[in-house]
Amino acid sequence: MNSPAVPITDTYSVVAPDRRRWSYTLVFSVIGTAVTAGFVVGMVALFAWQTLPVLSHSGLGYVTSNNWHYRQQMFGALSMIVGTLLVSAVALCVAAPVGIGAAIITSEFLPGRARLMVKIVIELLAGIPSVVYGLVGILYLRTFVYDTFESFDLHSGDTILTAGLLLAVMILPTVMTLSDDALRAVPALQRQAARGLGLSRLSAVMHVALPQARIGVIAAVLLALGRALGEAIAVFLVVGRQDNNLPTQPFTLRPLLESGQTLASKLGGAEINIAYGDPLHWAAVVGLGLMLLVMVGTVTLLAAALTSPKSAASPPQPVENAPKHARPTKTHSTKGTSDALLTARLAQEPAVTRLPKRRKWLERFSIGSFAACTLLATGVMLAMILAIFYRGSSALSLRFFTEQIKLVGADGGIFFNIIGTLLLITTALCVCTPIAVAVALMQSVYLRERAARGLGMVLYLLNGTPSILFGLFGLVVFVKFLGWGKSWLAGGILLGLMMIPIVTVALVERMKALPKKYIEAARGLGLSKSQTVWSVIIPQSRAGLVTGSLLGLARAAGETAPIMFTATIFAGAMFPRGIVESPVLSLPYHIFILAQDSFDPRVGEKLWGTAAALLMIVMLLSLIALPVRLRIHEEAVSA
Amino acid sequence: MTFGAILAIAAPVLADILKINGSTTVNLPTAEAAEILRAEKAMTIQIDTQGGSAGGISALGDGQVQIGMSSKHITEQDKLKYPSVDFVETHIGEDAVAMIVSKDVWEAGVRSLTREQLADIYEGKITNWKDVGGADRRIAFFNKEPGRGTWEVFAHFVYGNARKAPPVSFPEVGGNEEARNKVAGTRGALSQLSSNWADGKQVFALSIKNDAGEEVAPLAANIANRKYPMSRPLFLLTNGAPSGDAKVFIDFVLSPRGQELVRKHGYLSLDQMVVDGK
């Protein structure tokens, strides 16, 4: 799906504030920041404005009534709101315990190398495009749910539960990676002190590390929730898309075993095309987007507020709510080599060497179940990748990559789909890079703490915005208002905007890690702020730019939702010759369409082959970024 | 092949792009015709299937495409929505919408449904196959999503007019493969689907029992003489009489080679349709 969000933590001015003077660098930085903030504000304003007609038509009933029948001009979206919440709840109930359990293992129990391996697997899992998840969901998960719950007399295998389980796998990397980061941020000293006081390894984790990391863990779960709420493509393929199916038997399993519809899955469907041109219907559709934006925005901002430096129980602060027996750690929480040595020695010689038998079993059981979580998470990932390559391998040949589509996908290859996807992500990179550099400079060089935090919130919000909403925005602005029709440029711009937070955060992390003395040396040499930026800060942070861009590109390459209404078609596009009415083919859209519409058994093989090809591109990008990214990230987290 | 592809791209740089959008049903022969014309006449043709027939009509109405693909007639509402567009329908073939069922339903002996039974199932009055001669199993009905030509044909048959169809709540299916796949994988499943997708192995096409008690299967002969009630014309739509590249394209689809493609994908070509004075 998406690369896990990196929480935007505190920023500080890399360069000491000096006489504020306008320079080209500052202007560049201001423009980039204005574009980013303007896009976020503009999208909210546009959606709100376009929603007005349905509010005056249906009033509050738009959100409180359960009757969506567009032919009868009835628009009550309640069942979609409920469906969204149910699907996300299922996803969280599965992903949160598994993800946190696995994070406890990776951060607390695994030796360095094994931890790295697991992290790599999870990073790759995070990179699998949602349309590929959807494909796997159609073929395996739907049947699994249908057979498992046969005694409930299911209508079909497309249920809220199916969608929720699929989402659980999709958000698992976010929960796991961010929880792992939060746990790693708790100083080792504190665990050692706890161990020294006789706590078992597990108790040290459960009573010291986890309570201290709880804010970070909650934020991780909230961010994952944001992703779950907004996922359109994968849910679309397995939720059944049944309108107005409000649960009638709450507090049973029944509502989860029915088909349903979510806000995002509705936006991924055919009604979008029908609605445009009818102001009321269109308003009702855009209103769904607005509701989704409000829901995801609230969750995301909550997570951002929690992790902002002021409220977070960040590592150096004393423990406040730790259980009583952990309290003495306070006395050891001062920094100093001698203390470290002392606690390290204490850790080697636990005061209590024997646990009562029952405790011991409980402890083993807990660690065992956490380990099972880790195995489950990594196992699911590897199984998915193997399944895709296994099923797609028969299609993979040189011809497959060099020929164009024939026979509506049953023959030929995906040459122009690859070209289209490459063109889209190259454009996205060109759009994103200058903006991300400008925003990162604004964030770490020009803004003071409070304003920087505000900008961080904007990035947070942008990062959390469901990709289907980029598509909706692009449809209104580029396709219709600017009259571009479907255009590669529109798709490239939208994907570029989506990438901004990922690249910016990677850059800012790197800028923060710059040794102060570099800047001081530059200042000492009499360099101006702009000169310092271009000759020291940017060159020194380019690793952040490169890895951030690669990760952003990996995400952009696999996205379907932003481009399906704005940039790609199924067949016939080659190299675009202009901007207006110049669509391209693409890999994710190809999979999305063939998953629903293939007339020939041969399509199946090509479909999986396309998924394998897309996966290869995405994973190649993630893998190149991985070593540097992990190093930078570890430095930033444990700094 | 890469080299060939690049040459193929270089050639039509000056030509206009012919854009087509609409029904997934019409798409099959159309897309193959486009492949032939791209190769033989170096035409640049872009095809998409967003939103089914309704998507084709609105894309043509909005001027985004030169040809819309539709498996239903243009309605008065369409004309009202796009008053400046002169919709012209070119009939390229005929297709039947079948009520398809999963294997277990077929094997339990359900072979036909009447119009009244279809209405009752659609309105939720009949929810078990045992009420229509099958086994005791819940009817898992998948409704074709709004805007699809298939749904319009079904609603027109059952209610006389698609607008008279009551609002219902069922899981919806979009593309033909999605419908086929879901019916094949669900016990007690029923859905509306283009009849040629019923393979007789995993999904089976029911006959329609008419008022005379006669079971009419969606076979070529019954479609041609319009005895089978849920058949539909396949159209290529243009704004005004076809001209330029659109005319070249439509002429090709109407030519013997184009009509062969229509037959190849399981539809009836125009010469197979009995001219019964209708």
Q: What is the pLDDT of residue B13?
A: 40
pLDDT in tens, A523-541: 889 888 888 999 999 998 8
Query: Which residues fall within 8 angstroms of residue A223, CB to CB, at 6 or more apart?
Result: A4, A5, A7, A174, A178, A299, A300, A303, A464
Tell me the pLDDT band of A306, cut-offs 50, 70 and 90: confident
Q: What is the pLDDT of residue A319?
A: 36
Residues of chain B neighbouring A596 (CB-CB closer than 8 A): 174-175, 177-178
Tell me the pLDDT band of B6, cut-offs 50, 70 and 90: very low
- State how far the Cα of B61 lies from the Cα of A190, in Å rounded to an integer: 68
Characterize B230-243 residue by residue with b for buried, 16 or more Cβ atoms within 10 angstroms of its Cβ, and e for exposed.
bbbbbbbbbbeebe
Alpha helices in A244-336 (DSSP H): 263-267, 271-275, 279-307, 329-332
Beta carbon pairs, A and B, within 8 Å: 159
- State how far the Cα of A546 lies from the Cα of B99, in Å rounded to an integer: 55
Domains of chain A with bracketed CATH:
23-59+393-639 (1.10.3720.10), 73-313+363-388 (1.10.3720.10)
Distances (CA, A) of A406 to A416, A571, A606, B40, B262: 12, 9, 11, 14, 16
* B51:A270 CB<8 A: yes
Q: Tell me which of A21-35, A394-408, B185-199 is least confident.
A: A394-408
- State how far the Cα of B239 lies from the Cα of B79, in Å rounded to an integer: 11
* B147:A583 CB<8 A: no
Q: Which amino acid is at A62?
A: Y
**Who has greater pLDDT, A560 or A362?**
A560
Q: What is the pLDDT of residue B88?
A: 94
Tell me the pLDDT band of A635, cut-offs 50, 70 and 90: low
* B55:A403 CB<8 A: no
pLDDT in tens, B207-261: 999 989 899 999 888 888 888 999 888 999 999 999 999 999 999 999 999 999 9
188-247 in chain A: CB under 8 A from chain B: 240-245
* B169:A245 CB<8 A: yes
**Who has greater pLDDT, A342 or A289?**
A289
- State how far the Cα of B195 lies from the Cα of B94, in Å rounded to an integer: 11
User: Mean pLDDT for chain A?
Assistant: 85
Whether A156 has its CB under 8 Å from any CB of chain B: the answer is yes
Half-sphere exposure of B181 (CA within 13 A, CB side): 27
* A270:B35 CB<8 A: no
- State how far the Cα of A232 lies from the Cα of A209, in Å rounded to an integer: 36
- State how far the Cα of B249 lies from the Cα of B67, in Å rounded to an integer: 9
pLDDT at residue A338 greater than cutoff 80: no
Q: Tell me which of A448-452, B135-139, B254-258 is least confident.
A: A448-452
**Who has greater pLDDT, A622 or B192?**
B192
Query: Which of B70, B53, B96 has its CA nearest to residue B235?
Result: B70
pLDDT at residue A3 greater than cutoff 90: no
Tell me the pLDDT band of B14, cut-offs 50, 70 and 90: very low
Whether A311 has its CB under 8 Å from any CB of chain B: the answer is no
Residues of chain A neighbouring B17 (CB-CB closer than 8 A): 581
**Who has greater pLDDT, B1 or B132?**
B132
Query: Which of A340, A37, A300 has its CA nearest to residue A178?
Result: A300
Share of chain B above pLDDT 70, in %: 93
Give which of A265, A274, A402, A566 to mutate to test B binding, by max B Cβ within 10 Å: A274
Tell me if A83 sits within 8 A of A266, measured CB to CB: no
Whether B245 has its CB under 8 Å from any CB of chain A: the answer is no
In this structure, what are the phi and psi dihedrals at residue B227, rounded to the nearest 5 degrees?
-75, -35
**Who has greater pLDDT, A340 or A296?**
A296
Residues of chain A neighbouring B19 (CB-CB closer than 8 A): 581
549-608 in chain A: CB under 8 A from chain B: 564-565, 569-575, 577, 581, 583, 593-599, 603
pLDDT in tens, A65-103: 999 998 888 999 999 999 999 999 999 999 999 999 999
Chain B residue with Cα closest to A276: B58
Q: What is the pLDDT of residue A314?
A: 39
- State how far the Cα of A243 lies from the Cα of A260, in Å rounded to an integer: 6
Q: What is the pLDDT of residue A310?
A: 55
* B50:A407 CB<8 A: no
Q: What is the pLDDT of residue A313?
A: 39
**Who has greater pLDDT, A162 or B28?**
A162
* A270:B55 CB<8 A: yes
User: Which of the listed ranges A186-200, A302-316, B6-20 does the model predict with the highest average pLDDT?
Assistant: A186-200
pLDDT at residue A169 greater than cutoff 50: yes
Chain A residue with Cα closest to B139: A155
Q: Which amino acid is at A211?
A: P
Tell me the pLDDT band of A20, cut-offs 50, 70 and 90: low
Chain B residue with Cα closest to A568: B48
Q: What is the pLDDT of residue A320?
A: 38
Provide the 10 A C-beta neighbour count for residue A188: 14
Characterize A425-444 residue by residue with b for buried, 16 or more Cβ atoms within 10 angstroms of its Cβ, and e for exposed.
bebbbebbbebbbbbbbbbb
- State how far the Cα of A121 lies from the Cα of A613, in Å rounded to an integer: 19
